[in-house]
Structure 1
Amino acid sequence: VTKVAQLLSLLMLSSMVTGCMWWEDEEVIEEERGAFEFDQQVPITTWYHYPGTIVEPWAVDATNAGAVSAANITADLTGNSTPYFANATYYGTGYDTFEPTIGVTSSGAIFFTQWNGLGDGTHIIRSRDNGQTWEDVGPFGQIDEDSGQTPNSNDPYIYVDKFTDRLVKFDMHALAAMFVEYSDNDGDTWSIPYPVEGYYVTQDHQSIASMPPPPGVTAFHDVIYVYCINTGSPALGAQCSRSLNGGLSWDIQRLGYPSSSFPQCSGLHGHVAGGIDGAVYRGNPSCEGPAVYRSLDGGYSWSEHTITTEIGMQDGWHSHEVATAVDDGGNVHATWIGDDLMPWYANSRDQGDTWSPPMMVAAPGVNETG
């Protein structure tokens, strides 16, 4: 009996010792981080918000759970919709300019136009370190490095061909003539200036785009270049021309809209944009509302596509601006300032034939844009 008791005592002691030697890891419960909780505080210049609609044309602060719930908004903020921390700052370039345009090549180099005034022409300013430092890359005239290859520009313009990485420098002179210069090595060297076709005066507000040759169009270069100008006449509207040989020569200017849409209601337009499918678009109001004009034959003929009749255009300085862009999938995006002085956005997945419902995209608290 004594031995049994001793054995039981040893077993109990062993179990107690074992219990002290072995333990279970404590389960650490991590609280799920909110979609807008970052390692840094969101800057006061960054907004995360949901757009307004035609019925409720105001933005909803996405970081305000109460406002999101009150607006009955449900969104899956995961995957490609995951919010990212965003912050930005400003850097001085050291160069004066006038109505600048900007472009970025696949190398990461950034370019913008510098207007040097009468006799000096336009120069292109380049940064290769994300805007930290800038340099003048011409094109320089043969007299000295202060002059340009073209004597003057009333509308300095730079375009980066997203299909070939070519820089296209496009200058308008005295509202009457156009010249274009090219660089295929990030601005290290430039072509001579080539004259551009233009029969109508006024030639103003020029914009150029590129696109691969669409079906049925034979080109003698990797892309077709199309440029459009404002004639100064709202009724006459825009005029457009195309080049099938890399900008060496140009077709005569033609109407940038269908003849059935004459007279037009606005001659000024946003920048021309080309797509991977060979389509090219020109943002410009129709007489019914914000619209996009489309060409499927390299800028030779155009069709009219009104985006919406529910949100009009501002009756004033910005009544002509419909900004367009084409993504890598050929989808068309358009923005404009509405008659409520707020920015609106819509997109098309079928080359402008139909459009998404317009969205008001200003940040919460913004009451007017222009």
Structure 2
Amino acid sequence: MVSNETKRVELLSPLKNSKSLNAIYKYADSVYFGIESLNMRSFSDNFRLNEINSIVKKLHENSIKAYLTTNVILYDNEFTLLERAFEKASEAEIDAVILHDLGAIELAKYFDVKFHISTQANISNLNSARFYEKLGAQRLILARELSLNQIKDIKKGLKTAEIECFVHGAQCTSVSGRCYFSGEICESQDYSANRGKCVQPCRRKWKVIDEANNALIYDGTFFINSKDLCMIEYVPQLIEAGIDAFKIEGRMRDPIYIEETTRCYKEAIDSYYNNTLSKEKVDNWLKRLSKVYNRGFSTGFYFDMPKGSEIERKKEGNISKYKKLQIGKVISYFPEKKAAKILLSRDQIKLNEEIFIIGTHTDTYLRQKVTSIQVKQKRNLTETPIASKEKKIAVGILVDAPVKKNDKVYKLKYKGVDNV
């Protein structure tokens, strides 16, 4: 039985862009996002410096905490930008910045901005944790290479600092992202994992060749392609270990992934606190998580040292059996009727199935259950005819939120089942 005195764990989600915010504002307690070149996901749709105030305001209006990620290795010529970022963050009343550079810590203190120590600091023991706690860190994002028992011991030894741990998403083959493989391949330190531009060479197939051009014979499988972390089955153990915040990785992922992972972990956390957790619920969450982007699932270092089974050996990238299929676009929206007209150019729409309406140059993100279908003057249809590029079909549906012209329409489709 969960005590009423128990402090609720915080659910922290990645924010790629404004569409991602529209995807998670009902489920996340907090989000982390980057700006320009100061974070570990330079290839993501990072926000601009002048957007900090508006994004933080929107998050706070939805009772969501905002954390600014500034956790790359920093050089002298970047501190002017960092100073401007912290000044903007302070003005916007950001909840905290995520960092690990000692110079950045001093700057955060100067602007009186609360700070969390990034997993890039590789905090793996209580002495390190206490060091950052004494520096004034509000929260410590522990190294991913710790076991659950080690996490418990660190938490017990702290006085004020909270601890945050990753619970879902991509795992790095190297130690907490401290890797120069990408930088070596690209012959530039700018492309090291520590600078936010990792090209992920570990996700490829490699041949081992000696100086005499002899190739090592092996079975052609991937051998350093780590599976994704997935701890949805173990939410009770993580909460009872004293972890203060669960972090979902994925600032490079699309809003469908970000919504589904956040929603599943939100439901799991709620089920723990209201004592309704069950095997049936866990199985459902795992099924839903496997439908969005994933490389297979692993428990990382939580219970044991990862073994060969923690490597996805057969396939590069997404192994989900479902694909995100664009089936059309919005051609008009009728606010008085809360309806949209969609031009189908592929597949079909069926009553009660889910579709996703996502903007290309807008912030639209809508996960919509189809409750009505109208084609021409025919209403109350259960499905549309099958559309194609040669035979497009205009379809009217009711929508739960405004959409915009040219927003794209998608569905998650089982691979191998395509009527195109």
Under a length normalisation based on structure 2, what TM-score does the superposition of the two structures give?
0.25
Higher helix share: 2
Higher strand share: 1
Larger Rg belongs to = 1
Under a length normalisation based on structure 1, what TM-score does the superposition of the two structures give?
0.27
Greater RCO (Cα-Cα under 8 Å, separation 6 or more)? 2
